[in-house]
Amino acid sequence: MYSRLSLRNMRRSIRNYVLYFTTLTLVCALMYSFLSLSFSDDVRALAENISLLTNGLLLFSVVVALISAFITSYAMDFILVQRKREFATYLLMGMENGTIVRLFLGESALIGLTAFVCGTAIGTLFGSVFAKMAMGVFEVPYSYQLRFSFKSMFVSFLLFLLMYGMGLVKSITVIKRTKIIQLLYDHVRNEVHTERSLRWYALYLLFSAAIMTLGGILLSRVVSESSNMALLILILGSVLVLLGVYAFYRRFPELLVELLGRSKNRIYRDANLFILGELRSRVNSSGRMLAVTALLLAFSLATMFLGLVMGAGYKANIRAEYPYDVTVAIDTKIADFDGVLDFIGAKSPVEDYVSYYLYRDPSIPVEILALSDYNRLRQQLGLDEQGLAGDQYLIHCEWSHRKEIKGSLALDPSITVNGKLLFSSEDLIFSEPMEQARMVGTDGRAIIVPDEVAHSLEASLSRLVVTLTDGGRAELRGELNRFIRNEWKPLVLSPPSQRVTMSITVRAWGIANSLSGFSALSFCGLYMSVIFIVLSGTVLGFEQLASLVRARRAYSIIRHLGVTDSERKGLILKELIIFFLIPAVLPCTLLLLLAIGSHKVFAAFIVQPNAIPLYAFVTLSIFTVLYGLYFAGTYVIYSRSVLGRAS
Amino acid sequence: MCILEAIDIKKDYGVEPNITRALNGLSFRIAKGEFVGIMGASGSGKTTLLNCISSIDTPTSGQIYLDGKDLLDIKDRDLARFRRENFGFIFQDFNLLDTLTVQENIALALVINKVDTKKVDLRVHEIAERLGIGDVLGKYPYQVSGGQKQRCACARAIINQPLLILADEPTGALDSGSSRILMETMQEMNQSLRATILMVTHDAFSASYASRILFLRDGTVYRELERGDQTRSQFFGQILAILEDLGGYSGCIPDSV
């Protein structure tokens, strides 16, 4: 009997449940798909440190479940409010509280399970797309295939239980504690309008803007801070910005409505006066929620944008970080690298190699390289050769050093190397990626001098660059590392006073492992932000639908006053557009500011041109599509409910 | 001059074989400047008649002319405009928007009628002063009394100077004191502002403010009563007598009549 009643109740209040069900399904789908990515054997085999991505996704899933629990609880509150009078009727008929709880539990379990099953099915589709994307990042061929992961489903179900259970427990407590009188008359409470002066609003908003600005200043300082304080400043700056956004939004919509109300010319045009009233009511009853939504949106847009930009920057910079197939750096002078070359040759065919020294002159603070060695390195990278007159030197540095070096050259273009005077100019500064921090210099710059000048100096560091015919395998790094450390006995020509440091890079390994970082940043950023946008859309949708009873009456009144059905549709559209735009304006503005700021500061460090504007656009597009879906859904349900009943 | 003419209006609800006839060949005329009351027991067709006249509902057959124009000839897309230009409404539960102040509620009728924005405030203040609600213009409906709310609804109904004001049980939600003030206000609207009013009511006291009353029974006009030169007290007595005859009223004359 009760199960039939539950089913009938669900069918009858299907409109209330549409948004709720959609959100539950989407959250389940995203959770399952990201978890399936996390547990995928194909993905786990991509790189040694891929756990950065897989563990990150697992951790984020727990966070998502906890945050979603609050939203689920909020959605259940909405449904409870809609059904308070129905529950009151059951109580008046003599039904026990426990029975109502069981009825509600039955309905919720049915909805939850259906949403979970649908979500898992959709998640299987999403999972395949995400797997394809992840494989694409690593440039591993992958064809779409629907794979069901029992492990992902099991973990998703546990997280879903956590999320849904928390919401259910709260709702059951509410049903148990609420008295019949509250259930019957809760909807007839008056709205209370608090009047504040413009001056109060101005001071409040200035204060919140100041908090945001302070946060922004702190964030801009993170770039120049190289100590561990950077993380602290980053957290503090982010918290201040988000706090400022919340504080700003807590009162900004009220001020907006207040200002609109003062502009008689504007509100007495068309039916703006009616819209003003509706907005006033929404802002009055949903102020806190609008602020929370703005906060969620600001956080999600920033997370998505930074995740995509940092990930893309990372990927684009990887090739610059690893320009050579294999490098070995020994920080002392050794006779040769023959043993190492033989070992590499046995593993992969060697196409070419450069074995050379970096020299030091006590009067010059950077390493010196012979021109012929430098040109051999350029040759490995397909760069053109450079020439020098007998009294010239050139400088090879990272982009970030160019300005400073140009300034020094303008002051004094000459240096003395081992008693020989050499000159340079701006035309002799080069900045192609050649590993300026290790292979061409050790701190981002090196001086290149004619061979005879270089050979008159004492060699201090030994370097080997190898170009392989097949580009090499990631495993070579481990094998080479073990060989050099355990088996190779180089002939050291100038014993150092301290322990010799050495390093090995293999491009195939470096790229694969760096891509893990890229994937982790991008996928985790995308995961969190998509979930937050979905949750924000849900909250806004429910807030709007919560006003259905009042809205039906209001739109019915203006119908009697002679407003046509098409005009009323237009008014509903206008009302919803404004309601959905309010919490989105500042987060989008902040995103644009973040993009402009990042472009100014980081553009020079990202090899991919216009990566920042591109990903700002991608972020806004994803946001617009998701947010737009919730807007459209809310509009359809709201307008049908309001106009359907009224007409 | 005739403002409203209803000819042989019939209104059926339901489908064969379960048809309920709410209006059964009802005909009457209302002249410009009249204050007409419509009374009758529950189910007599009062609200159905009001809905048909106000073009919210359409009769099954018959004609309704407002200022010579047949309402049934008006296309659906033009009905809303016709309504806002020609009717003013007063409802039992005020139908004010809780989200707007009293001033904004009155102004809304002008705004919807696309009145020059510069004239809106002036006209709102004028009508509010006349109806005695000038001091509550800045308040929200929940901050004023029921009587003030209904006078706000009156101001909203008359501010566009419509051809006809339709009032549906305007005193239904008011106490006796507020009812008296409201009916005096409506009388003032009728006499000083030349408003033509058609009021549906159960209440004999409210009806006694009208100049003519149509009594409905089973969807037709059962009796018609003109006040003529009678005092309101005499008229009230006559109303009660007819109601008793209709079998739907057994009240006594309040002291205040």
Identity of the residue numbered A596: I
> Per mean pLDDT, which range of A170-174, A177-181, A255-259, A426-430 is the poorest?
A177-181
Q: Which of the residues B92, B93, B97 would you substitute to probe the A interface, choosing the one with the greatest number of A C-beta atoms within 10 Å?
A: B97
User: How many C-beta atoms lie closer than 10 Å to residue A93's C-beta?
Assistant: 7
> Per mean pLDDT, which range of A4-18, A583-597, B98-112, B146-160 is the poorest?
A4-18
| pLDDT mean across residues, chain A | 84
Q: Which residues of B touch A557 (CB under 8 A)?
A: 95-97
Alpha carbons A308 and A234: distance in angstroms, whole number? 18
Which candidate from A190, A264, A562 shows the least CB-CB separation from B117?
A264
| pLDDT mean across residues, chain B | 87
Q: Which residues of B touch A554 (CB under 8 A)?
A: 97, 99
Q: Do B113 and A562 touch (CB under 8 A)?
A: yes
Q: Which of the pair, B183 or A17, is modelled with greater confidence? A: B183
> Per mean pLDDT, which range of A196-200, A226-230, A387-391, A523-527 is the poorest?
A226-230
Alpha carbons A531 and A69: distance in angstroms, whole number? 12
Chain B within 8 Å of A455 (Cβ-Cβ)?
Answer: no
Would you place residue B252 in the very low, low, confident or very high pLDDT band (cuts 50, 70, 90)? very low
Q: Which residue does chain A place closest to B139, by CA atoms?
A: A193
Q: Which residues pair with A394 in a beta bridge?
A: A448
Q: Do B104 and A273 touch (CB under 8 A)?
A: yes
Closest C-alpha to A434, from A385, A515, A388, A374: A374
Q: Do B99 and A191 touch (CB under 8 A)?
A: yes
List pLDDT tens digits, range B31-80: 999 999 999 888 888 888 998 998 888 899 999 999 999 998 888 778 88
Identity of the residue numbered A18: V
Alpha carbons A69 and A161: distance in angstroms, whole number? 10
Q: How many residues does chain B have?
A: 257
Q: Which residues of B touch A (CB under 8 A)?
A: 54, 56, 77, 79-85, 87, 89, 91, 95-100, 104, 107-113, 117, 120-121, 140, 142, 156
User: How many C-beta atoms lie closer than 10 Å to residue A349's C-beta?
Assistant: 11
Which residues, 6 or more positions from A13, have their beta carbon under 8 angstroms from its beta carbon? A79, A82, A83
Alpha carbons A390 and A386: distance in angstroms, whole number? 13
Q: Is pLDDT of B255 > 50?
A: no
Count residue pairs from A and B with Cβ separation < 8 A.
86
List pLDDT tens digits, range A51-83: 777 888 888 888 888 888 877 888 887 777 777
Burial degree of A190 (CB within 10 A; 0-12, 13-18, 19+): exposed
Q: Which residues of A touch B117 (CB under 8 A)?
A: 264-265, 268-269
Q: Is pLDDT of A401 > 80?
A: yes
> Cα angle at A500 between A497 and A502, to 5 degrees?
155
User: How high is the pLDDT of residue B199?
Assistant: 94
User: How high is the pLDDT of residue B250?
Assistant: 44
Which candidate from B84, B99, B109 shows the least CB-CB separation from A277?
B99
Q: Is pLDDT of A245 > 90?
A: no
Q: Per the structure block, which two tokens stand in for A187?
A: 């909807």
Maximum CA extent, chain A? 106
Would you place residue A12 in the very low, low, confident or very high pLDDT band (cuts 50, 70, 90)? low
Q: Per the structure block, which two tokens stand in for A95?
A: 């039904």
Q: Which of the pair, A604 or B113, is modelled with greater confidence? A: B113
List pLDDT tens digits, range A21-59: 888 898 899 889 888 888 887 777 776 667 777 888 888
- The 8-class DSSP code of residue A392 comes to B
Alpha carbons A153 and A117: distance in angstroms, whole number? 10
Q: Which residues pair with A437 in a beta bridge?
A: none
Which helix H or strand E contains A60, and what residues bound it? helix A51-82
List pLDDT tens digits, range B124-164: 999 999 888 999 999 988 889 888 998 999 999 989 889 99
Q: Do A554 and B97 touch (CB under 8 A)?
A: yes
Chain B within 8 Å of A278 (Cβ-Cβ)?
Answer: yes
User: How high is the pLDDT of residue A283?
Assistant: 83
User: How high is the pLDDT of residue A231?
Assistant: 77
> Per mean pLDDT, which range of A133-137, B23-27, B217-221 is the poorest?
A133-137
Give the alpha-carbon dihedral of A594, A600, A605, A611, to 10 degrees. Answer: 60
Average pLDDT over residues A455-467: 90
Average pLDDT over residues B187-202: 90
User: How high is the pLDDT of residue B34?
Assistant: 94
Q: Which residues of B touch A559 (CB under 8 A)?
A: 80
Q: Which residues of B touch A274 (CB under 8 A)?
A: 97, 100, 108, 111
Q: Is pLDDT of A398 > 90?
A: no
Alpha carbons A376 and A356: distance in angstroms, whole number? 10
Which helix H or strand E contains B38, and what residues bound it? strand B35-40
ipTM above 0.90, yes or no: no
User: How high is the pLDDT of residue A182?
Assistant: 66
Q: Which residues of B touch A278 (CB under 8 A)?
A: 99
Q: Do A271 and B111 touch (CB under 8 A)?
A: yes
Q: Does domain B2-246 have CATH number 2.30.110.10?
A: no
Q: Is pLDDT of B216 > 80?
A: yes
User: How high is the pLDDT of residue A259?
Assistant: 86
Q: Do B111 and A193 touch (CB under 8 A)?
A: no
Alpha carbons A355 and A49: distance in angstroms, whole number? 31
Q: Which of the residues A263, A265, A268, A579 would you substitute to probe the B interface, choosing the one with the greatest number of B C-beta atoms within 10 Å?
A: A268
User: How high is the pLDDT of residue A646?
Assistant: 43
Q: Is pLDDT of B202 > 60?
A: yes
List pLDDT tens digits, range A116-150: 999 999 998 888 888 887 777 666 667 767 778 88
Q: Do B83 and A557 touch (CB under 8 A)?
A: no
Name the one residue in this structure whose structure tokens are 């950065």.
Answer: A52
User: How high is the pLDDT of residue A354?
Assistant: 93
Q: Do A554 and B99 touch (CB under 8 A)?
A: yes
Q: Which residue does chain A place closest to B142, by CA atoms?
A: A190
Would you place residue B251 in the very low, low, confident or very high pLDDT band (cuts 50, 70, 90)? very low
User: How high is the pLDDT of residue A647?
Assistant: 40
Q: Which residues pair with A429 in a beta bridge?
A: A395
Q: How many residues does chain A have?
A: 647
User: How high is the pLDDT of residue A249?
Assistant: 85
Burial degree of A418 (CB within 10 A; 0-12, 13-18, 19+): middle
Kindly report the three-state secondary structure assignment for every residue of A509-570: HHHHHHHHHHHHHHHHHHHHHHHHHHHHHHHHHHHHHHCHHHHHHHHHHHHHCCCCHHHHHH
User: How high is the pLDDT of residue A175?
Assistant: 78
User: How many C-beta atoms lie closer than 10 Å to residue A298's C-beta?
Assistant: 28
Q: Which of the pair, A177 or A337, is modelled with greater confidence? A: A337
Percent of chain B's residues with pLDDT above 70: 96
Alpha carbons A347 and A482: distance in angstroms, whole number? 14
Q: Which residue does chain A place closest to B82, by CA atoms?
A: A562
Q: How far is A572 from chain B (nearest CA, A)?
A: 15
Which residues, 6 or more positions from A641, have their beta carbon under 8 angstroms from its beta carbon? A15, A545, A548, A552
> Per mean pLDDT, which range of A366-370, A396-400, A636-640, B250-254 is the poorest?
B250-254
Alpha carbons B181 and B128: distance in angstroms, whole number? 14
Q: Do B98 and A190 touch (CB under 8 A)?
A: yes
Say if CB A220 and CB A602 are below 8 A apart: no
Chain B within 8 Å of A44 (Cβ-Cβ)?
Answer: no
Chain B within 8 Å of A194 (Cβ-Cβ)?
Answer: no
Say if CB A6 and CB A102 are below 8 A apart: no
Closest C-alpha to A34, from A163, A142, A133, A144: A133
